């Protein structure tokens, strides 16, 4: 594991985009991090270099067998202060994903240090508007040119950066409508659902397309065995406020262990809300709605932060949550959470890493 | 859909490898086919060009979300005669995979024509030794540079070619030992198991690694729901000869519909063997073994063709099939099947496409 980081400067910096109209994940900054792996040297050749296309053999295993994992996190800026949010958690999860796909693990401390250097260099790219941030995408791909099915010997890790606005457009606290998918399955225990691996997302597209066509914003996935228990939403974990308690499905091997999920659980407890991680069936949700105890639903994820859910469609039933509005618990958590991330509020957990 | 094919010649052809010692999927020929897709033009820019690295944006969706499908087939040469084996079946299956991942379908006739031109150009690369052939790998990847999770707008299709020997080494009729995986799951109904998509293979690596460590050659997968019903082996479908009947698991949405599987079913019927496609549990297999009615087991796939199975390990039981030898039905099917492919036997089904 090499500890040195080379920096290759570019001659001309790009023009920055209009930060007022940022979308998600289309604009990239001036630099990226690149690092290579082979069995002899381990991870080596760590270099910050101008953002540019990469060259791959057409036989590179990532293109055939999907050995690819990624992470997503954000840097926030207030004035001159820049914060990363729990970056070591993302590299820890990356290692869990790597392990599941037989890929080499990274040195977490080295990655966090390297990321700090990269983000410091790209500080001017961090937008400061409401809901804006610098999205950070580390990923690892198998580069070996070999068509047999086995773990590759050569890999590349890259980190690319993209200034982003709110994930679901400007009105980020508008409640979303979710569609409970009862045919397609995202993941099953014994599979790779808990890992942030490329194939999980390709497998989710058809369901998302159907939900969109039917007029819904997002898919809510059920478990792969019984197709009864709530798992997660597109790229968010899911929370229910039932009778004052903040409930989220327990981690079961097929749900992605969201860092926002984990942090929200800690924050909610800190704020005095009772929390529960447990199995919850879609029938439980509809029964709670009928009984009048289902108060709020929201999704949690790095991209969307906290997204209130206004309605849930399952087979021929549809329930409306809190009159289709963001609820009080959702808003309370949202305000404290984004306050900590933006530095406008104290960070009692030590989550933020200042540059 | 454009119908024209440009050919860009290379100045110097590569040196051919020693065909006597060919492995699998490491050597590539002089040329490849490349074709692009965008929403305005559909598939366009079909060109045969020198085999070379490709350039991708680091944000190309294939590297993050696994929108990648592939196919595998073979060209066989006897003297000056070159045969493709049911190529239209592979492009038909590619379209099923494309559809499952929200990717654009290809024109099957155009693809078969194009492939014929490519293989004709690369005829000298087709090895003629026992068990040897030219492996053909068509694949489609999402190239759009965008980090949101949705179907990409831009794709690239490539066909690369690799002269290959027998998949499991020279002694290709040596019986393999298989390990029944009872923890990891490859695929589940409602998922993408029936499609030849990249993510399925990454998800299979851990189980294969464990099987190898325990001294077995291949993993036998069980269904994802009950973990009881036999599905398939690594990159082969599986057949049992029970009481004279050739039995294979029925297609259920999580098993890859192998073209070898389909052809073997047709061939076996033609040769007068009773065949059955049905659900078969791993307990059924062990019970048949105990009852003395389990006569043979073999795997079927393009790479390995037909591979006899000599033993099956499940939890703490292990069964030996036909004294660990290739059985008579297996050998009969193998001989007729490879005879048709090599042109040494009549092709009553019209499977072979001559160039
Ligand atoms: C499938 C899935 N679930 C949940 C999440 C939320 O995880 P986190 O809070 O770490 O962003 C994500 C994404 O980022 C995801 O892709
Ligand atoms: C998972 C899997 N099952 C079965 C097969 C056999 O299919 P075919 O006979 O078309 O090669 C393959 C491979 O090629 C495969 O990858």
Rounded CA separation A296/A286 (Å): 12
Burial of B186 (0-12, 13-18, 19+ CB in 10 A): buried
Cα–Cα distances (Å) from A353 to A87, A113, A343, B304, in that order, read: 8, 11, 11, 53
Q: Is A235 on the interface with B (CB under 8 A)?
A: yes
Average pLDDT over residues A281-296: 98
User: Could you report the per-residue pLDDT of A81-104, keeping only the tens digit for each?
Assistant: 999 999 999 999 999 999 999 999
> Ligand 1 pocket, A301 CB below 6 A?
yes
β-pairing, A245-248 vs A275-277, is parallel
Name the packing angle between helices A87-100 and A259-270 (round to 10°).
140
Task: Kindly identify which residue of chain A lies nearest to residue B28, measuring between CA atoms.
Answer: A59
Instruction: Please check whether residue A46 is in contact with residue A33, taking contact to mean a CB–CB distance below 8 angstroms.
Output: yes
Domain locations in chain A as residue ranges: 6-164, 176-342
For chain A, say whether B205 makes contact (Cβ under 8 Å).
Answer: yes
Q: Is A236 a residue whose pLDDT tops 90?
A: yes
Of B75, B78, B73, nearest to B343 by C-alpha is: B78
Q: Is B245 left (phi over 0), alpha (psi -120 to 50) or beta?
A: beta
B299, B259 Cβ separation under 8 angstroms: no
Instruction: Identify the burial level of A276 via C-beta atoms within 10 angstroms of its C-beta, where 0-12 means exposed, 13-18 middle and 19 or more buried.
Output: middle
Give me the sign of the Cα torsion angle A50, A52, A54, A55. Answer: negative
Buried b (16+ CB within 10 A) or exposed e, B39-48: eeeebeebbb
> Are residues B35 and B164 in contact, defined by beta-carbon separation less than 8 angstroms?
no
How many other β-carbons are positioned within 10 Å of the β-carbon of residue A124? 12
User: Nearest-CA residue of chain B relative to A64?
Assistant: B198
Residue A330 structure tokens = 């959702």
Q: Which residue out of A260, A298, A306 has the highest number of ligand 1 atoms within 8 Å of its CB and is therefore the one to mutate?
A: A260
- What is the per-residue pLDDT for B98? 98
Rounded to the nearest angstrom, the distance between the alpha carbon of B12 and the centre of ligand 2 is: 35
HSE, side-chain direction, 13 A CA sphere, residue A158: 23
Asked if A67 and A101 count as a contact pair (C-beta separation under 8 A), the reply is yes
ipTM: 0.96
Q: Which listed CATH number (3.30.470.10, 2.60.120.260, 3.40.50.10440, 3.40.50.620) goes with A6-164?
A: 3.30.470.10
Could you tell me the distance, in angstroms and rounded to a whole number, from the CA of residue B337 to the centre of ligand 2?
16
| pLDDT of chain B, 355 residues: tens digit per residue | 456 789 999 999 999 998 888 888 899 999 999 999 999 999 999 999 999 999 999 999 999 999 999 999 999 999 889 999 999 999 999 999 999 999 999 999 999 999 999 999 999 999 998 889 999 999 999 999 999 999 999 999 999 999 998 765 556 678 999 999 999 999 999 999 999 999 999 999 999 999 999 999 999 999 999 999 999 999 999 999 999 999 999 999 999 999 999 999 999 999 999 999 999 999 999 999 999 999 999 999 998 899 999 999 999 999 999 999 999 999 999 999 999 998 899 999 999 999 9
The CA-CA-CA angle for residues A76, A81, A83, to 5°, reads 40
Residue indicated by tokens 């654009």: B104
- CATH superfamily of the domain spanning A176-342: D-amino Acid Aminotransferase, subunit A, domain 2 (3.20.10.10)
Full-model pTM: 0.97
| Share of residues in chain A with pLDDT > 90 (%) | 90
Give the pair of three-digit tokens for residue B211. 């099987």
């Amino acid at each position: 594991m090499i500890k040195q980081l080379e920096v290759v400067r570019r001659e001309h910096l790009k023009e920055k985009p209009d930060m007022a109209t940022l979308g998600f994940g289309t604009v990239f900054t001036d630099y990226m991090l690149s690092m290579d792996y082979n069995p002899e040297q381990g991870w080596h050749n760590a270099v910050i270099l101008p953002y540019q296309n990469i060259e791959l053999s057409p036989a590179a295993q990532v293109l055939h067998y999907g050995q690819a994992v990624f992470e997503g996190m954000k840097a926030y800026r207030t004035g001159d202060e820049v914060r990363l949010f729990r970056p070591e958690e993302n590299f820890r999860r990356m290692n869990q994903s790597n392990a599941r796909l037989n890929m080499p693990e990274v040195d977490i401390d080295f990655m966090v240090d390297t990321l700090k250097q990269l983000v410091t260099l790209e500080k001017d790219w961090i937008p400061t508007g409401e809901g804006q941030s610098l999205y950070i995408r580390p990923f690892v791909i198998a580069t070996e040119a070999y068509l047999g099915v086995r773990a590759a010997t050569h890999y590349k890790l890259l980190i690319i950066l993209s200034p982003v606005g709110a994930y679901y457009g400007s009105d980020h606290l508008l409640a979303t409508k979710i569609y409970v998918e009862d045919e397609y399955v995202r993941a099953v225990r014994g599979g790779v659902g808990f890992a942030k691996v490329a194939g999980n997302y390709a497998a989710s597209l058809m369901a998302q397309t159907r939900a969109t066509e039917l007029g819904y914003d997002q898919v809510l996935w059920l478990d792969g065995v019984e197709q009864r228990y709530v798992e997660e939403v597109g790229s968010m974990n899911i929370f229910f406020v039932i009778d004052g308690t903040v409930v989220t499905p327990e981690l079961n091997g097929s749900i992605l262990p969201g860092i926002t999920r984990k942090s929200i659980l800690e924050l909610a407890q800190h704020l005095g809300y009772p929390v529960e991680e447990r199995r919850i069936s879609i029938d439980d949700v509809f029964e709670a709605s009928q009984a009048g105890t289902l108060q709020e639903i929201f999704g949690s994820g790095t991209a969307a932060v906290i997204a209130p859910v206004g309605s849930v469609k399952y087979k021929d039933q549809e329930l409306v949550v809190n009159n289709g509005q963001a609820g009080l618990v959702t808003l309370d958590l949202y305000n404290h959470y984004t306050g900590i991330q933006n530095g406008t509020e104290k960070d009692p957990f030590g989550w933020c890493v200042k540059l």
